[in-house]
């Protein structure tokens, strides 16, 4: 179906006031309680910066997920089980991982309702707590809301004040979004059944802009309206244009970071690039945490890639060589591998170097559509690849 756009909000006044952007997602979740084997979303754990996955079994559980839009949480696709009807609220990178897993027959498309959230990036909790202390003298508990909008990172406090700096300023100073989020160029999750966010909504309106991409998403939305959980209206041309403009700005910023981080590596002479990769991988202690955290790597523990001999003389271990090659057509740039590495190896940008080069040459971008078959599986690689 062609996508359809709405603006929506919770029919419950308290949720409209207390939730993100009019409490649409919270009340949408309430509306599907009991209709799926498993409903998954993130809830805040302590501060607004930290989150954990929660299984929603009741309307009360749905309400506990309010306001967790930006809470950082490890990737969600691990929680979807084959054969279970699952509804899940997730960011574009998580949704892309689910799509890749569907292609590999680990999850069935017809069993899953993907409720996507627009995403300008997520903030690493510890660095961000240090940042708000250094620059605003605020404690994590003082923050009730964090938002990435209009080129700024904005923190709202318990006393109702707003503190902000531009994303550029913060990131030049070594804080800000996770590195992979800076060059991530999929901000609206169009691979989902519905995509929700506040981009395009007028200030002070307290509503969510919702784009519906599939019949499944449309049916769920219509049912939620019929049962009185949410209200929807038609967005104006202006709202649609503003949302598209914000998406364009975020993608342009991502393009700049892509040039700075990935492009710099791509443009190195081959020998220099190999030396760089070898050098950054050298502190690896073979804990395999990166492989376990990777949402698109489904090898078992007996996989041949699980070999790392500290005494071998290879410039890059078998483990990392296999992963770099395997993930060339499936790395969705979620950054989990970098996040979990105990010796801080910037793995995501190494994998993205290969994946984006592959994308440039073949036009294939993983996780965007279940219909897109990877060129290698199609036997359709460009000449000389």
Which residues form the interface with ligand SF4 (CB under 6 A)? 91-93, 119, 121-122, 180-181, 184, 284-290, 293-296, 327, 331-337, 340-343, 345, 347-348, 351
Q: Which residues contact 140 (CB under 8 A, 6 or more apart)?
A: 46, 47, 48, 49, 129, 132
Q: Min. distance of Cβ 121 from ligand SF4 in angstroms?
A: 4
Strands 162-166 and 143-149 come out as: unpaired
Helical H segments across the chain, by residue range: 13-18, 24-32, 59-64, 92-103, 125-136, 167-172, 179-183, 215-226, 237-258, 264-266, 270-281, 289-293, 318-326, 336-340, 347-362, 375-378
Q: Min. distance of Cβ 229 from ligand SF4 in angstroms?
A: 27
Q: Min. distance of Cβ 117 from ligand SF4 in angstroms?
A: 9
Query: Rounded to whole angstroms, what are the CA distances from 323 to 67, 106, 215, 316?
Result: 36, 19, 36, 11
Q: Measured between alpha carbons, how far apart are the two ends of the chain, in Å?
A: 35
Q: Min. distance of Cβ 86 from ligand SF4 in angstroms?
A: 19
Nearer to ligand SF4, 30 or 100 (CB): 100
Nearer to ligand SF4, 184 or 224 (CB): 184
Nearer to ligand SF4, 31 or 338 (CB): 338
Q: Min. distance of Cβ 106 from ligand SF4 in angstroms?
A: 14
Angle made by CA atoms 283, 51, 123, in degrees to the nearest 5? 55
Nearer to ligand SF4, 74 or 225 (CB): 74
Q: Min. distance of Cβ 233 from ligand SF4 in angstroms?
A: 27
Classified as helix, coil or strand, 200 is coil
Nearer to ligand SF4, 16 or 51 (CB): 51
| Distance, CA of 346 to CA of 334 (rounded, Å) | 12
* DSSP secondary structure letters along 16-49: HHHSGGGGHHHHHHHHHTTSSSEEEEEEEESEEE
Q: Min. distance of Cβ 92 from ligand SF4 in angstroms?
A: 4
Nearer to ligand SF4, 212 or 334 (CB): 334
* DSSP secondary structure letters along 67-110: T-TT-B---SGGG--TTS-EEEEE-HHHHHHHHHHHHTTSS-GG
Q: Min. distance of Cβ 226 from ligand SF4 in angstroms?
A: 31
Sign of CA dihedral 317, 322, 325, 327: negative
Distance of alpha carbon 182 from its chain centroid, rounded? 12
Nearer to ligand SF4, 225 or 306 (CB): 306
Q: Min. distance of Cβ 66 from ligand SF4 in angstroms?
A: 20
Nearer to ligand SF4, 63 or 327 (CB): 327
Nearer to ligand SF4, 136 or 288 (CB): 288
């Amino acid at each position: 179906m062609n996508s359809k756009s709405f603006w929506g909000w919770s029919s419950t006044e308290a949720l409209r006031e207390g939730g993100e952007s009019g409490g649409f997602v919270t009340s949408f979740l309430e509306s599907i309680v009991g209709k799926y084997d498993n409903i998954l979303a993130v809830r805040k754990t302590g501060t607004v910066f930290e989150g954990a996955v929660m299984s929603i079994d009741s309307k009360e559980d749905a309400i506990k997920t309010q306001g967790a839009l930006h809470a950082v949480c490890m990737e969600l696709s691990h929680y979807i089980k084959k054969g279970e009807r699952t509804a899940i609220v997730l960011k574009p990178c998580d949704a892309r991982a689910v799509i890749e897993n569907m292609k590999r027959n680990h999850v069935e498309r017809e069993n899953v309702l993907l409720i996507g959230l627009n995403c300008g990036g997520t903030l690493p909790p510890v660095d961000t707590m240090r940042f708000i202390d250094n620059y605003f003298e605020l404690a994590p508990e003082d923050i009730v809301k964090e938002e990435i909008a209009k080129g700024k990172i904005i923190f709202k406090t318990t006393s109702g004040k707003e503190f902000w700096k531009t994303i550029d300023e913060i990131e030049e100073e070594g804080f800000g979004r996770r590195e992979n989020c800076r060059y991530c160029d999929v901000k609206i999750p169009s691979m989902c059944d519905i995509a929700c966010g506040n981009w395009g909504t007028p200030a002070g309106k307290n509503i969510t802009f919702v784009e519906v991409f599939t019949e499944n998403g449309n049916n769920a939305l219509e049912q939620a309206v019929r049962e009185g959980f949410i209200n929807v209206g038609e967005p104006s041309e202006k709202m649609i244009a503003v949302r598209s403009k914000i998406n364009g700005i975020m993608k342009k910023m991502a393009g700049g970071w892509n040039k700075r981080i990935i492009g710099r590596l791509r443009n190195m002479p081959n020998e220099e690039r190999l030396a760089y990769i070898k050098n950054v991988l050298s502190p690896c202690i073979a804990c395999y945490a990166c492989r376990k955290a990777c949402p698109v790597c489904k090898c078992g523990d007996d996989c041949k890639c699980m070999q790392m001999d500290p005494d071998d003389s290879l410039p890059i271990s078998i483990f990392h060589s296999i992963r770099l090659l395997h993930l060339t057509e499936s790395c969705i740039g979620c950054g989990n591998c970098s996040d979990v590495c105990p010796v801080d190896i910037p793995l995501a940008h190494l994998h993205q170097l290969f994946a984006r080069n592959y994308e440039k040459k073949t036009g294939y971008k993983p996780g965007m559509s279940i219909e897109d078959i990877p060129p290698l599986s199609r036997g359709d690689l460009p000449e000389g690849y």
